[in-house]
Amino acid sequence: MNETCCRELKVGQVVPEFKIEAYDPLKGDFREISSESLKASGKWIILFFFPAAFTFV
């Protein structure tokens, strides 16, 4: 397992580069999101991950 994929981040630390598929509620579909595109948006970003919290059943 890749160490950077599972390390704990603290407030103020730089988020490692990533690409994920996420649900876009405005479009009602999935799209790819990357750390690069989020940084380029110039807005504040809050990331959280909680496995199985939003699992589609």
Give CA–CA dist 45/16, Å, rounded: 14
Which pLDDT score, from 0 to 100, does residue 1 have? 40
Q: How many CB atoms lie within 10 A of CB 25?
A: 7
What is the b/e burial string over 2-23, where b = at least 16 CB atoms within 10 angstroms of the residue's CB? eeeeeeeeeeeeeeeeeeeeee
Give CA–CA dist 33/22, Å, rounded: 7
Which carries the bigger pLDDT value, residue 27 or residue 2? 27
Chain segment 9-55, per-residue pLDDT in tens: 788 888 788 898 988 888 999 999 888 888 898 877 777 766 666 66
Report pTM.
0.52
Which pLDDT score, from 0 to 100, does residue 52 have? 65
Helix (H, G, I), strand (E, B) or coil at 42: coil
Tokens of 47: 């990331």
Which pLDDT score, from 0 to 100, does residue 7 have? 67
Which pLDDT score, from 0 to 100, does residue 53 have? 62
